[in-house]
Structure 1
């Protein structure tokens, strides 16, 4: 390699992302400072599910009460 004007050793020596890619290999991107994942695998600010995720509450089909009701109906 030629002589780089910028200092690349911090980038090369930084901690790597702990995620696994779809091909099954480890992600080689550097982790976000203070996190264990890179910006593409959830280390970016604001990533992840919102607190009190309401997306999971769609129809109530899989609630504990609904499952018990169906079991009682079959019995």
Structure 2
């Protein structure tokens, strides 16, 4: 279950330091450990890598596999240039 959020301490949380369109500070609560709110880029650093990502299935798109595919393409290009 989720932790109960203590509303009496809500006003003490850190505030977003982004500027709104009008030039005033955002004042929305910042994401825990960040300086921006969820609307101004504090929510997520991106998807996790490797097995931590829920869509990790077979490893075709791992960095190692991509490097191997890149090397294979280079070899094929060199072979085609040499054969022509």
TM-score, normalised to structure 2, is 0.45
Greater C-alpha Rg: 2
TM-score, normalised to structure 1, is 0.50
Higher relative contact order (CA closer than 8 Å, sequence separation 6+): 1
Could you say which structure has the higher helix fraction? 2
